[in-house]
Amino acid sequence: MPEEHSPTIMAVDELQAIIQRCQILEEADFKGEDFNLFQVAGQKCLEDGYAAQLLEVIQNEKNKVIIKNMGWNLISPLVRCIFMYKQEDDKREHCLRILDQLAQLCNPKELFLGLLEQIEQTSGEQVCQTVMLLLQPLQTVLLKLQNKKAYSVGLSLAMIMNQLTPLPVPYTKQQIEEDKLGLCQCCNAVVDFAKPFVNEVVKNMEKSSEYNDMELKEELIKFCMRSLKYPLLTAQLEQLEGIEEHPFRHFATEIIDILWHIGELIPLVFVHHKGKSPHWENQEFSDIERKNSADSLASLSYLVFVQHFGVECFPVVFSPSYLLLCNMAHIEMLLKRTEESVLSKGLDLFESCLLRMEDNSLLHHYLEFRDFINVPQDLVKIMTLCPMEHMRKKSLNILQLLIDKFDTEGKYTLFRCLLKTSNHAGVEGYIIKNIKDQIHLALTKEYDSIWFTGHHLISLLDLVLSLPEGAETDLLQNSDRIMASLNLLRYLVIKDCESDNQTGVWTTLGKIEQNFLKPLRVGLNMSKAHYEAEIKNKKENRKEAQSSNTVCSVTVSGEKMPAMTTGMQLQVLHSALFTFDLIESVLARVEELIEVKTKAVMDENS
């Protein structure tokens, strides 16, 4: 016998010796030492490549009782060896058959704990591989359990999701196709793992309409809620060209199907609006669900109302305004997030809800709900602060869509709110342009709009035709708002005759001149003088300097600009002067129009 073979043969012989000794013992007489010896010998057989011999031992009917009690100890070395061998290696196939045999023969409770421990201990790139390897034996064991089955299923699903959650979710088409860590494949394998337990709940519900055993159902709902948050909240769920079956779309479909079949889809979609959670037997879980389910419920609404998963299950009885109301809390939560994948879902959900509605159909009463005030302000933050241009543009489009959907009083109230809260000249200018459009409609329609004429409009103009800090307002920083205000005033003076005075602008003209036109004229003169002096100083300094490439800093609108040459600074200063000239030209035109119209009326009266 060659010497190098002796250690392996010794390992097989040791295993056979332990087996023979245990065969004559009663099950109750097995000692801790027997378990340890069996584990060491079995592990050595696996590591030395003698999985075939170990498989024969396990398949031997005489060893059934031994394997039932001791086999679970082999899970850890077995998993290591499976990953060690290549896919086509016969030894790997023997190890897989051993795993299958252990699932059939071992004590379910002991093997369940062994499998769960193995999943818990895995990390990094092997997480998905380990989970997919052990799902089938874990499912086999769980189906055999009699006591605490629901708890064990819930523990298994929670453990698996805990291990998957730290993994990055593939987002681009390339990442999804590569599925480097196996997450896409693993998620769908986990759903297949859960299906027998879903079927069990459904069968029990069909047997009795008063199905009382809620434990297993609750565990499945927990799993679905976790899946909605991860990976579905951050996953790319749009159809991708070249991918026949999008793995995350398939996963989403399966999660929605589970919720539908166990009767929880519609209650969960509308749970937030009702202000209460579904009925849970476990009060502790009910408290946790209320606290942590916002992400999951928002993800669910996105799947249903944007991607239309499961939408065929919903009765067509809900008005578009009710659906918007139900979704506003979800939209608000999503718009407060900064991740592109989540933020984009919030914008898509908001847009989808608004597109269902007819223009001018959203009643102003909805602005009494906190969400309807907060969400437009969130849109403004995205429009002004988000680093992604396409997100900023989309937010602006959706804000306009929201404005279009409100009735006249709703538009009026929303305009007042945004003028007071946006703190951004560009946004304020945009709102003022919208106010001008509404005044135009009020003046040209056959019926009067009380909200954009008369005393209501005058109240709004008090906000619009004013300078935040009088003559000392930073005109450059507020140029968008000022230009929009001047254009609105010019429109009012041209469109509304003093004799008609539908808008009330002629009644309040003195106030407008005092609070807006005069301070603006003074501010323009001060600003132009300041910038012209600055330009003169820069030109003189440049002559004195050795080179025009001297680098220094400049502050514009209270913000320090990046280091610039003197030439670049002069360019910025000239640009500011051009803006002041533009404002001044419109201001002069407004003053001229007021003077002409006022003189004409005086001539008529005299």
**Higher-scoring residue by pLDDT: 567, 52:** 52
- Same domain, yes or no: 97 and 157: no
Residues 244 and 304 in one domain: yes
Q: pLDDT tier at 174 (50, 70, 90 boundaries)?
A: very high
The two structure tokens encoding residue 484: 């929009």
Q: 352 pLDDT exceeds 90?
A: yes
Q: What is the pLDDT of residues 220-259, one digit of tens each?
A: 999 999 999 999 999 999 988 888 889 999 999 999 999 9
Any domain includes 164 = yes
DSSP letter (8 states) at residue 362 = B
pTM above 0.85, yes or no: yes
At 48-95, the pLDDT tens digits run: 887 888 888 888 888 787 778 777 888 999 999 999 888 878 889 999
Which tokens hold the place of 399?
């804000």
The answer to the question of residue 535 being in a domain is no
Could you list the residue range(s) of the whole structural domain that residue 67 is in? 1-106
Looking at the fold, whether 227 and 295 belong to one and the same domain comes out as: yes
Structure tokens at 221: 């709902």
- Among 106, 122, 140, residue at a domain's last position: 106
At 229, which helix (H) or strand (E)?
helix 215-229
Q: Count Cβ atoms below 10 Å from residue 31 Cβ, excluding itself.
A: 10
| 91 and 190 fall within a common domain | no
Asked if residue 197 and residue 102 are part of one domain, the reply reads no
| Overall number of domains in the chain | 2
56 and 188 share one domain: no
Task: Please tell me whether residues 230 and 84 are part of one structural domain.
Answer: no
**384 part of a folded domain:** no
Whether residues 258 and 198 share a domain: the answer is yes
Residue 205 inside a domain? The answer is yes
176 vs 170: CA distance, rounded Å? 5
DSSP state of 364: G
- 28 with 100, same domain: the answer is yes
Q: How is 370-425 classified by DSSP, letter by letter?
A: HHHHHHHHHHHHHHHH-S-HHHHHHHHHHHHHHHHHB-HHHHHHHHHHHHHH---H
Q: Which of 74, 106, 138 is the last residue of a domain?
A: 106
67/474 Cα distance (integer angstroms): 84
Q: Do 193 and 297 share a domain, yes or no? A: yes
Burial class (CB in 10 A: 0-12, 13-18, 19+), 489: buried
Tens digit of pLDDT for each residue in 521-550?
A: 999 999 888 888 877 777 777 666 545 455
How far apart are the C-alpha atoms of 543 and 286, rounded to whole Å? 76
Looking at the structure, tell me whether residues 95 and 184 fall in a common domain.
no
Residue 187 domain-assigned? yes
Residue 52 forms part of a structural domain: yes
Domain-embedded: residue 60: yes
Q: Mark whether 81 and 159 lie in a shared domain.
A: no
Q: Residues 106, 71: contact at Cβ < 8 Å?
A: yes
In a domain, 48, yes or no: yes
Identify the residue with better confidence: 575 or 104. 104
> pLDDT above 90 covers what percent of the chain?
59
